[in-house]
Amino acid sequence: MEQIIMYPGEVGKDAVDWKTTQGQHITAVQRNILVLGSGGREHALAWKLAQSEGAKVFIAPGNAGTAEVGTNVNLKVGDFEGIKKFCLNNEIGLVVVGPEQPLVDGIVDFFKAEPQLQKVRIIGPDKRGAQLEGSKAFAKVFMEQHGIPTARCLTVNQASLSEGVAFLKTLKAPYVLKADGLAAGKGVLILEDLEEAITELGNMLGGKFGNASATVVIEEFLKGIECSVFVLTDGEHYLLLPEAKDYKRIGDGDKGLNTGGMGAVSPVPFCTPEFLQKVEERIVKPTLAGLKKENIDYKGFIFLGLMNCGGDPYVIEYNVRMGDPETEAVMTRIEGDFADMLYACADGALDQVHYAKSEKTAVTVMLVSGGYPEAYEKGKVMTGLNQLKDCVAFHAGTAFNAEGAVVTAGGRVVAVTAQGDSIMEAREKAYKNVANIKFEGVNHRSDIGLDLLLTPNS
Ligand code: AMP
Ligand code: GLY
């Protein structure tokens, strides 16, 4: 007989339920969900959650796009007390944390310690678990201890600078230097020249990235192709979400400065079933076993930044959240009730939800402000957003001006995602729509997905 699971007695008067594997409904209830963040990732999460049965989505602080799928709330992601009050006043049953900073700052610990918040589920690791992203040195020790394939490394600080220099001399160019702490995505240097690497190591330890680089991880360079694999875990079970490839450089052909991400493709042709099997066996399972062994209670997303080296996966980095702009592609390929998945995740019952990946290919193209990733202007009026067809425009950095028009409010402005039966078809649809969105200085890459047409299995 079909098992029916009920979760009565939630915050406030509404019961909060999710469906059985067979998809049978239990009760039509309202599920109030708060998404924290304001970028394209959060718009994509909120967009997907808003499609769930009974979901009422709030986004703090959100942007002009999230206002279309839910209610924006004027709260900063670091304002834990304000978030607490909002949750209690609005009968929030689930909080989804978009960016890493509040997780590293302990928002999950805060929720767990507050007697009034005991019934509010929260997706994300506690402070200790968030160290997988918050400290690269911690992540490397974790991987070494749990036998997870990663680049050889040495962690140094000012006192062990000379050992660092000696280690650099044993490596071949290029040299990889990573600030231990969060450095707004800028803390990794890849250098061709040994002398330059030695100088930069000194600079980093001397405060080039502030306190974040008081400790530096020196790493062997891994040659291969990168991809992002996303795991949702309740600590016991896990789901492998659709994988993606992102495009970090500002210019076509991967030229120019690093950005937050200029586009994404999902699925990734070189992530074959055999490769993903290796990822599960060599990385996902040992990672979850390691977390358990270290008594880290982890209910949330794990983003594996991987290098595919000749068919073998190596971890470049762990993130404790979803990727941006990968989420804008990935969310369009998740089939099933996403709120069900997240409620079940928080309840340790991920094995009981319906989940499938769409066979379609999603291509995401990011439109950015002129000048980004260096200085850029904000407040440019955007047009064409209401003329889009067969795509979703996830807002990354937008706001309303005094007249109520949508204006640019960030470097990355809007991510256009389209689906197709092939990369080419999805690309064509995405770019047709990209051409319709206009604002002064608009820039985007024209080659998202093209490289994948040349790799095997595409
Ligand atoms: P991370 O912040 O650790 O993801 O590093 C930023 C980028 O640097 C990655 O996306 C890679 O492109 C590159 N990178 C980091 N570590 C390595 C490595 N060991 N070998 C090659 N490339 C790396
Ligand atoms: N797209 C890479 C990241 O979110 O860190």
pLDDT in tens, 404-454: 999 999 999 999 999 999 999 999 999 999 999 999 999 999 999 999 997
Q: Please name the residue whose Cα sits nearest to atom 3 of ligand 2.
A: 323
The C-alpha torsion from 35 through 179 and 413 to 398, rounded to 10°, is 50
Residue 185: per-residue pLDDT: 74
**Whether residue 37 has its Cβ less than 6 Å from ligand 2:** no
Q: What is the mean pLDDT of residues 260-284?
A: 97
Share of the chain above pLDDT 90, in %: 89
Helix (H) or strand (E) holding 431: helix 423-434
For residue 381, is pLDDT > 50? yes
Which ligand 2 atom sits closest to the C-alpha of 261?
Answer: 1
Ordered by start, the domain boundaries in the chain are: 15-124, 152-219
Q: Please name the residue whose Cα sits nearest to atom 5 of ligand 2.
A: 323
pLDDT tens for 2-23 read 333 333 333 333 444 455 444 4
Residue 29: per-residue pLDDT: 67
Both tokens of residue 253?
């052909």
Q: What is the mean pLDDT of residues 48-65?
A: 96
Which ligand 1 atom sits closest to the C-alpha of 219?
Answer: 19
Residue 14: per-residue pLDDT: 41
- Residue 150 binned pLDDT confidence (cut-offs 50, 70, 90): very high
- Substitution site in 326, 330, 366 for ligand 2 pocket (most atoms within 8 Å of beta carbon): 326
162 alpha carbon to ligand 2 midpoint, in Å? Answer: 32
Residue 165: per-residue pLDDT: 94
Q: What is the mean pLDDT of residues 90-109?
A: 97
Dist. CA 450–CA 254, nearest whole Å: 11
**Whether residue 261 has its Cβ less than 6 Å from ligand 2:** yes
Residue 456: per-residue pLDDT: 55
For residue 1, is pLDDT > 50? no
Residues 369 and 383 sit within 8 Å (Cβ to Cβ): no
Q: Please name the residue whose Cα sits nearest to atom 4 of ligand 1.
A: 317
Q: What is the mean pLDDT of residues 289-308?
A: 97
Neighbours of 179 (CB within 10 A): 24
Q: Indicate which ligand has the atom closest to the C-alpha of 326.
A: 2
For residue 455, is pLDDT > 70? no
* β-bridge pairing 94-97 and 121-125: parallel
For residue 115, say if its preceding peptide bond is cis, omega within 30 degrees of 0. Answer: no
Residues 226 and 316 sit within 8 Å (Cβ to Cβ): yes
Dist. CA 67–CA 395, nearest whole Å: 10
Q: Who's near 79: CB < 8 A, 6+ residues apart?
A: none
Closest CA to 174 of 218, 209, 121: 218
**Whether residue 91 has its Cβ less than 6 Å from ligand 2:** no
Residues with CB under 6 A from ligand 1: 151, 176, 178, 188, 219, 221-222, 226, 305, 316-317
Q: Rounded mean pLDDT of the chain?
A: 92
Q: Kindly report the CATH number that applies to the domain delimited by 15-124.
A: 3.40.50.20
61 alpha carbon to ligand 1 midpoint, in Å? Answer: 30
190 alpha carbon to ligand 2 midpoint, in Å? Answer: 18
Q: Pick the range with the lowest mean pLDDT from 205-219, 354-368, 386-400.
A: 205-219
Q: Indicate which ligand has the atom closest to the C-alpha of 323.
A: 2
pLDDT tens for 44-55 read 999 999 999 899
Q: What is the mean pLDDT of residues 214-231?
A: 96
Q: What is the mean pLDDT of residues 302-311?
A: 97
Beta strands in 144-286 (DSSP E): 153-157, 175-179, 188-191, 215-219, 225-233, 238-240, 245-246, 249-251, 255-258, 263-266
Q: Indicate which ligand has the atom closest to the C-alpha of 150.
A: 1
Which ligand 2 atom sits closest to the C-alpha of 323?
Answer: 4
Q: Please name the residue whose Cα sits nearest to atom 12 of ligand 1.
A: 226
For residue 458, is pLDDT > 90? no
Pick the CATH number of 152-219 from 3.40.30.10, 3.30.1490.20, 3.40.50.1100, 3.40.50.261: 3.30.1490.20
Q: Please name the residue whose Cα sits nearest to atom 2 of ligand 2.
A: 323
Q: What is the mean pLDDT of residues 217-236?
A: 96
**Whether residue 246 has its Cβ less than 6 Å from ligand 2:** yes
* β-bridge pairing 334-335 and 356-357: antiparallel
Which ligand 1 atom sits closest to the C-alpha of 221?
Answer: 20
For residue 385, is pLDDT > 70? yes
**Whether residue 40 has its Cβ less than 6 Å from ligand 2:** no
289 alpha carbon to ligand 2 midpoint, in Å? Answer: 24
Which ligand 2 atom sits closest to the C-alpha of 264?
Answer: 1
For residue 245, is pLDDT > 60? yes
